[in-house]
Structure 1
Amino acid sequence: MTSAGPPAIEEYVVSGRDGGPYGITTGPDGALWFTLVQSGGIGRLLPGQQPVIHQLDPGSGPTVITPGPDGALWFTEYRSHRIGRITTEGQVTEFALPSASCGPFGIASGPDGALWFTETATDSIGRLTPDGTVTEYPLSRDGAFPSAIAAGQDAMWFTLNQANAVGRIDMDGRIFLHDLPTDAACPVGIAVGPDGDVWFAEIAAGQIGRISPEGRITEHPLPDRSSRPHAVTTDSRGTAWFTEWGANRIGSLGTDGVVAVHDLPTPASEPHGITVGPDGALWAALEVGSLARLVPARRGS
């Protein structure tokens, strides 16, 4: 098997440098949707067109964004402690949460048709139905700082950044925690692959972890252990793609354990969220005001 060479990376300016593109996802309308954590906005980019920005409260701190079960996009407002919903036409609704100053961060649609999210400041996992009903599930560890969350086939998986663990919550609210082999790894990003295995980024250890649905954990050290991997997603082939926030790179880890890393064109661009775009390319949010597009190199025999 031979490689066709390094992938091409392009960058598209979507905000000023003070906008802070952070989370990113592909919407049901075939567009990229992203959060502007610093300026308080939600952006939409249809590849080949100009971005459209929907302004929120400038201090709301929108972070992670995900497609909902209702055809809208849902996002967390980390600083204003709300969950937001935006239609593909740009209509915004915001939902207050029961716990004050809970710091919602990660959010994902669950297999039960609800939105599940993390509450970093209250050590809880939240569940929000599209009609606005909220249920909170407390964790068994104080100061755990639950961060990113992703949907499996019959459960939600989440990282506990300060408790050094990966958790699973079933649809009936039962919670299981899996401690990581590496001390103080500080997991953040998480994604579920097409085979059901869960991938996560260990930002402090410079590793990408993998956990099976049964709880078997494997950790993959990156070539640069100081790269601070942040967010992770998976493609249809099961490859994990991740951002290296501290090293200004996008990396990939195949199911065979092979790691590849790719430098971004703009120095110190602060890559955060990453997703597979509507065009099949990898798209990452760069906090300096751009989105990066990476087309994986084709492989041939």
Structure 2
Amino acid sequence: MTAAIVEHPVGEPGDGPYGVAVTRDGAVWFTLVHGGRVGRRGPDGTMTYTSLGEGSQPSLLAAATESSVWVTDTTGNRLLLLEAADDRAIVELGSVSVPTPDAQPFGVVALDDGTAWFTELGADALGRIDILGRVDEFPVGREGSFVSMIATTGDSLWFTLNAGNAVGHVRGGDAAIAFTELPSVPSGPVGITVAADGSVWVAQILADAVARIARDGSVTEVALGAGAKPHAVAADPHDGVWVTLWGSNEVAHVAADGAVTRHPLPTPDSEPHGVAVTPAGTVWVALESGALAALSTTP
């Protein structure tokens, strides 16, 4: 597999592109974690931005509808629903405060029923926003676990416990949380995604590896090399996964059989973080150094 990588500068110097998501209208949304802003790159390349206000920290986002996203404001202890009015403006559809002070919302997913789930770094909990904007919170039962990123299959939730060396799983909104312990200690699980075959992939930033949890609950790990520091993951259409290697300045593809293909980024020290894959297969990566990278592959 070979790849062509094009970098698109975004924001102002020091803004820090961090999270990235793709909506069904073909737009690429991204957070500027140090700049307090969220940006949108339209299908024609038009750039629009909106500020979340002084002191805000937009961290991660998730596609909600064809043209809207949920975004977590970690320091602001809230989530916002943003929509593209057109290719020249972003409008705020709603802002939802988290009841627990200093909960630090971070990861977020949107479900087809109009609800959204998010993680609380500072409260060791999950949160749920219903269609009326009301918030319920659910402690995960492991103090100091640093609940980080979250993924969904539509009827199940999976989330990483960064300091707990485990992955949590909730099958249905009222079910008890089950935990899968990860073999490497410490592993520092961060990014998480669910592949089309139902397997769950986890980036283990402290273990320099990704873990794959099969439908039967078995766990296998794929080593990515010392210093790779994998951060975020996104499923491909073929039961594999794309992963950002923050430490080695690369984006890697891990096939379902564990085969690894590495793609060095053209700019040194670009600090790849968030990753998303379009239906057409283009891989978008948020580079904290100041750009979005678009990666397209050929066999």
Q: TM-score range by the shorter chain?
A: over 0.9
Give the structure 1 partner of residue 194 of structure 2: 192
Partners of 1:70 and 1:265 in 2: how far apart?
32
**How far does the alpha carbon of each residue in 1:233-258 deviate from its partner, in whole angstroms, 9 at most, with x for none?**
01111220010011111001001110
Give the structure 2 partner of residue 235 of structure 1: 236
Residue identity (%): 40
AA of the residue aligned to 1:261: R
Residues 1:54 and 2:40 are matched in the alignment:
no
Q: Is the 8 A contact 1:39 1:58 kept in 2?
A: no
If the length of structure 1 is used for normalisation, what is the TM-score?
0.93
Residues 1:77 and 2:73 are matched in the alignment:
yes
Stretch moving more, 207-216 or 242-251: 207-216
Give the structure 1 partner of residue 121 of structure 2: 120
RMSD over equivalenced CA pairs, Å: 1.5
Residues 1:68 and 2:64 are matched in the alignment:
yes
- Unmatched 5+ residue regions in structure 1? none
Q: Is the 8 A contact 1:17 1:287 kept in 2?
A: no
AA of the residue aligned to 2:9: V
Q: Is the 8 A contact 1:31 1:278 kept in 2?
A: no
If the length of structure 2 is used for normalisation, what is the TM-score?
0.94
**How far does the alpha carbon of each residue in 1:63-94 deviate from its partner, in whole angstroms, 9 at most, with x for none?**
11111158521011111110111012211121
Partners of 1:266 and 1:23 in 2: how far apart?
19
Per-residue deviation at 1:35?
0.7
* Equivalent position to 2:174, from 168, 172, 175: 172
Change (3 A) 1:294 1:218: same
Partners of 2:212 and 2:298 in 1: how far apart?
24
Alignment size in residue pairs: 293
Give the structure 1 partner of residue 219 of structure 2: 217
Q: Is the 8 A contact 1:123 1:144 kept in 2?
A: yes
Give the structure 1 partner of residue 102 of structure 2: 101
Partners of 1:69 and 1:154 in 2: how far apart?
18
- Unmatched 5+ residue regions in structure 2? none
Q: Is the 8 A contact 2:24 2:65 kept in 1?
A: no
Secondary structure at 2:81 match in 1? strand
The 5-angstrom pairing of residues 214-293 of structure 1 reads 214-222=216-224, 224-277=225-278, 279-293=280-294
AA of the residue aligned to 1:185: S
**How far does the alpha carbon of each residue in 1:90-140 deviate from its partner, in whole angstroms, 9 at most, with x for none?**
111211111010011100023654101100100001111132111111011
Secondary structure at 1:11 match in 2? strand
**How far does the alpha carbon of each residue in 1:130-187 deviate from its partner, in whole angstroms, 9 at most, with x for none?**
3211111101111000101000242100000000000102321421111111111000
